């Protein structure tokens, strides 16, 4: 474009100098704007030059925060975070996720949040990890859900703030602090306790599946009703797992999973038995369930009843565990190297390390090539 305009200017100068005088300004302006790069954002310059942020972070933040009213106050915010234990990588993470932190109020918002955590007994390392996983905390005031949410978690997990910290750091669960836990979580937990589920089991699930407890109380009651209708014993340790599994699936997906089991030869009683023994099997993909079932049936040594009694086998990997171990056992049996033939459950449920020590290491010449030993961690990995 620029070359074309230059040629046009030369041509005009040769043919009509008066015409050039009339067109010089707009043509030169077009040439300038066609070749000049987009001017950098002042915010990007500030982050790059003044605080040495990466170009990626500077670009992303400047697309959200177009200007800073008081750069000196932003300096104070960044300095405070650094003094509080935030590394350069932590700062980049926080600013990228929540650029508005640059314009937050240090004295009225950020400092009170840190003091609140410290007064509750959180370590500096804990605060850094919690805030990094959910930077929105830094633009909320302590009294606005943050304080009540922490206290609600404390009532659920016990008086030990270490447990609360663990819950907030687990799986990025610090987002819980954005919500009014007294609205959903606390009522749900109280209801589940009334269903004979222990506080310790509930606390364990809060660490792993916090979103489950944030569902509307009416939905939780619906899930419990469905599990009850399946004849589940409320005193079973699998009762809470059954409720959570049901909550993770739509009714349509549940019906599809039932049809899959039926198509492979499971009766309705078989399906219910599997669910009662190990509910999480129903969260496994249809393709995996089908592959594992077909694998065991193809051996000619197992039937459906075997899988019903050992549903945990439906959680294993066909390629990484079942097939390689079966090959090892076939070699050992063929060469009469086993004094006592182990059961299928023993063969497939042992950890990789124990399986290696029991069935591979003593017979390394015969089956050693089927395994690779990870010397750094002293564990054995099965070759597919």
pLDDT tens digits for range 85-102? 999 999 999 999 999 999
Q: Specify if 77 maps to a domain.
A: no
Q: Specify if 335 maps to a domain.
A: yes
Instruction: Give me the pLDDT at residue 122, please.
Output: 83
Mean model confidence pLDDT for the chain: 82
Closest listed residue to residue 313, CA positions, set 356, 343, 354: 343
Long-range contacts of 250-257 (CB under 8 A, 24+ apart): 254/282, 256/286, 257/282, 257/286, 257/289
Q: Specify if 101 maps to a domain.
A: no
Q: Specify if 330 maps to a domain.
A: yes
Instruction: Give me the pLDDT at residue 178, please.
Output: 74
Instruction: Give me the pLDDT at residue 12, please.
Output: 44
Q: What is the pTM of this model?
A: 0.69
Look at the chain and report how many structural domains it folds into.
2
Instruction: Give me the pLDDT at residue 132, please.
Output: 87
Instruction: Give me the pLDDT at residue 378, please.
Output: 33
Instruction: Give me the pLDDT at residue 33, please.
Output: 42
Q: Distance between alpha carbon 336 and the CA centroid of its chain, in Å?
A: 47
Q: Specify if 270 maps to a domain.
A: no
Q: Specify if 20 maps to a domain.
A: yes
List the chain residues with pLDDT less than 50: 1-39, 373-384
Q: Specify if 280 maps to a domain.
A: no
Q: Specify if 12 maps to a domain.
A: yes
Which structural domain, as residue segments, surrounds residue 17? 2-35
């Amino acid at each position: 474009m620029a070359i074309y305009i230059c040629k046009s200017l030369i041509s005009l100068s040769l043919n009509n100098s008066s015409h050039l005088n009339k067109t010089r300004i707009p043509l030169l302006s077009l040439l300038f704007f066609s070749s000049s790069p987009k001017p950098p954002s002042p915010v990007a310059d500030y982050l790059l030059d003044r605080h040495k942020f990466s170009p990626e972070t500077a670009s992303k933040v400047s697309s959200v925060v177009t200007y800073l009213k008081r750069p000196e106050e932003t300096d104070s915010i960044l300095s405070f975070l650094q003094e509080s234990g935030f590394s350069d990588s932590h700062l980049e993470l926080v600013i990228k996720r929540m650029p508005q932190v640059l314009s937050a109020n240090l004295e009225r918002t950020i400092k009170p949040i840190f003091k609140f955590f410290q007064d509750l007994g959180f370590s500096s390392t804990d605060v850094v990890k919690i805030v990094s996983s959910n930077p929105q905390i830094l633009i909320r005031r302590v009294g606005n859900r943050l304080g009540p949410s922490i206290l609600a978690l404390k009532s659920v997990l016990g008086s030990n703030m270490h447990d609360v910290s663990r819950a907030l750091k687990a799986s990025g669960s610090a987002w819980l602090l954005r919500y009014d836990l007294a609205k959903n979580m606390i009522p749900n937990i109280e209801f589940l306790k009334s269903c004979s589920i222990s506080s310790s089991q509930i606390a364990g699930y809060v660490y792993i599946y916090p979103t489950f407890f944030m569902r509307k109380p009416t939905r939780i009651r619906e899930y419990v009703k469905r599990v009850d209708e399946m004849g589940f014993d409320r005193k079973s340790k699998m009762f809470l797992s059954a409720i959570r599994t049901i909550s993770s699936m739509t009714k349509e997906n549940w019906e599809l999973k039932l049809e899959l089991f039926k198509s492979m030869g499971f009766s309705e009683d078989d399906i219910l038995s599997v669910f009662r023994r190990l509910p999480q099997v129903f969260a496994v993909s249809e393709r995996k369930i089908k592959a594992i079932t077909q694998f065991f049936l193809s051996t000619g040594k197992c039937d459906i009843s075997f899988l019903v009694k050992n549903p945990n086998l439906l959680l294993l990997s066909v390629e990484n565990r079942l097939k390689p171990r079966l090959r090892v056992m076939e070699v050992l049996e063929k060469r009469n190297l086993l004094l006592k033939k182990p059961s299928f459950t023993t063969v497939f449920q042992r950890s990789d390390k124990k399986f290696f020590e029991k069935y591979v290491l003593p017979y390394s010449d015969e089956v050693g090539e089927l395994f690779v030993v990870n010397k750094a961690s002293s564990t054995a990995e099965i070759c597919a």
